[in-house]
Amino acid sequence: MQIEETVLAGVLVLTPKRFGDDRGWFSETWNASAMASAGLDLEFVQDNHSMSAGVGTVRGLHYQAPPRAQDKLVRCTAGVIFDVAVDFRRGSPSFGRWFGVELSAQNGKQLLVPKGFLHGFVTRAANTEVQYKCTDVYAPECDGGVRWDDPEIGIDWGLSGPAVLSGKDAIAPLLGEVVSPFEWVAA
């Protein structure tokens, strides 16, 4: 597994090795003991799977607050997404900054989004499927979000038309209207 650091400390791009033959390929997308040896000691307890029918579907920017905060390992298993993490830790030198990467069924890349970061993605192909592992279960009372198009964050989603949004995402508050439940702690 190749592990790449990003401009946001803790946000990582993981690219599993693929082993191919005349049948296709095989890939180990997560191995707890190998990842713990690499410093990623995470216990995933829930797997999620979404399908977005249309191109330009935006899901995010979401977070789950403590005490049910989640680390997420995101991959695209059909189609293509532009996946984004935003630093949401009060006091962080990179608060409000974002990082994005294209994840596709073809490239096999995964994005590790730690607790304290907002997460969202936009689909770049029809019938796109996204799967992600979480270190805590979904807790609606801890669910939160920030506007996907907040000008203070300034994410370039690469949209060529209007975004397809859920009702919840369409009315999410701006970054400046939310007090983050996460606080940055210097390492």
- Are β-strands 24-27 and 117-123 bridged in parallel, bridged antiparallel, or unpaired? unpaired
The span from the CA of 11 to the CA of 41, in Å, is 14
Among 49, 63, 119, 132, the active-site one is 132
pLDDT at 48: 98
pLDDT at 126: 97
3-state secondary structure of 164: strand
pTM: 0.95
Q: What is the pLDDT of residues 85-122, one digit of tens each?
A: 999 999 999 999 999 999 999 999 999 999 999 999 99
The span from the CA of 113 to the CA of 42, in Å, is 12
- The model's confidence at residue 186, banded by pLDDT at 50, 70 and 90, is confident
DSSP 8-state secondary structure symbol assigned to residue 57: B
What are the structural domain ranges in the chain? 2-18+27-183
CATH number for region 2-18+27-183: 2.60.120.10
pLDDT at 187 over 80: no
Mean pLDDT of 59-73: 98
Which residues on neighbouring strands pair with residue 183, listed in sequence order?
A: 90
Q: What is the pLDDT of residues 137-167, one digit of tens each?
A: 999 999 999 999 999 999 999 999 999 999 9
DSSP 8-state secondary structure symbol assigned to residue 137: -
Is 49 among the residues known to form the active site? no
Q: What percent of the chain has pLDDT over 90?
A: 93
The span from the CA of 158 to the CA of 160, in Å, is 7
Mean pLDDT of 31-44: 91
C-alpha dist (Å) from residue 181 to 53, 60, 79, 90, 124: 33, 17, 33, 8, 31
pLDDT at 168 over 80: yes
Which of 73 and 25 is assigned the larger pLDDT? 73
Mean pLDDT of 56-67: 98
C-alpha dist (Å) from residue 121 to 27, 56, 69, 141: 23, 9, 19, 22
Among 62, 63, 119, 138, the active-site one is 62
- The model's confidence at residue 31, banded by pLDDT at 50, 70 and 90, is confident
Query: From the CB of residue 29, how many other CB atoms can be counted at a distance below 10 Å?
Result: 14
At position 144, the amino acid (one-letter code) is: G
- For the CA atoms of 114, 117, 123, 124, the dihedral, rounded to the nearest 10 degrees, stands at -90
